[in-house]
Each structure stands twice: as structure tokens, then as C-alpha cells.
Homo-oligomer: A and B are copies of this chain.
Amino acid sequence: MNGHSKGPHLDPVYVCGHKDPMAVRELLTRVGDKWSIFLILSLAKLPGCRARFSDIERAIPGISQRMLTMTLRHLERDGLVTRELFPEVPPRVEYELTSLGRSLLEPMQGLVDWVTTNWEQVKEARAQFDGKQGSNIVDATTAGA
């Protein structure tokens, strides 16, 4: 219907006969980088889903000014946050989740819940898998009694 042409080096192919996987991957690419989810969930917890630059910086240990700036720009570009500059000195800038950004919180919460419920299982699966790799080389194929 609408010829969507942009997107980060994604072939305009409808995978599996649907366009959903393509678009979902774009979303995951957008939100799955190192810092975006921290920004989104941090803003979500603050009153009015709003905070200034330095507040977010403090809320996310380890983030650099550069990455905070860049991540906020990306989210702003995608319409998920707004940026409001108050021309004071020193400057004050407030970021806020847009309604679009807040609408993303619901499905995000679904992921949060899934992780809360199931992450332990994932870690166990990893431990078991890694254990098998290192020590138990002998398997049914080679273990002909």
C-alpha cells in the first residue's frame, strides 16, 4: 500500500510472507542497542516520564555523556521522546516520553514480565549447555558400548 523505502540496510523483502518480522526487527534494532532500553525504562519510572539530561545520566551508571546524547537523539528522531531546551545558563534540557513512547511501555512491560519469570531458566539452560560443551565430549554417537 504505502511504499516504505527507508530503514537501516534492510532488504525490502517480506519475510515468511509477512512484513511483521521486518518491522519488529527494525524496532529491536532501534531499541535493542546498548542504552536505549535503559533510557526508556528510566524515563518511564520518573514522574511525568520526564527528566533532565543530568538526571538520566545519574540514573544510568556507566553511560557516557556522548552515548546519552546520541541515544536521546535517536529516540527523539523516532518520536519516542521530546527534547525541550530552556535557554538558561547553564543550559537546562528536559526529555520526556511522548505518547508514542509511552504506548511502547505496555509491550515492553510484557518483556519485563517475561524476563522476571523466565530469565532464571535461560541462565540454567546456558550453564547446562556450556557444561556439555566443555567436559562431556562423549555422546551417544561415539559411545558405542
Contacts and interface: CB of A to CB of B under 8 A. Distances in A.
Number of copies of this chain that the complex holds:
2
A123 B115 CA distance: 29
Nearest to A62: B11
Interface of A: 2, 4, 6, 11, 13, 15-16, 20-21, 23-34, 37-38, 41-42, 45, 59-62, 76-80, 87, 100, 103-104, 106-108, 110-116, 118-127, 129-130, 141
Contact of A79 (B11, B100, B121): B121
B141 A122 contact: no
Interface of A is mostly: helix
A113 to B, nearest CB: 7
Contacts of A118: 100, 103-104
Contacts of A11: 61-62
A16 B46 CA distance: 10
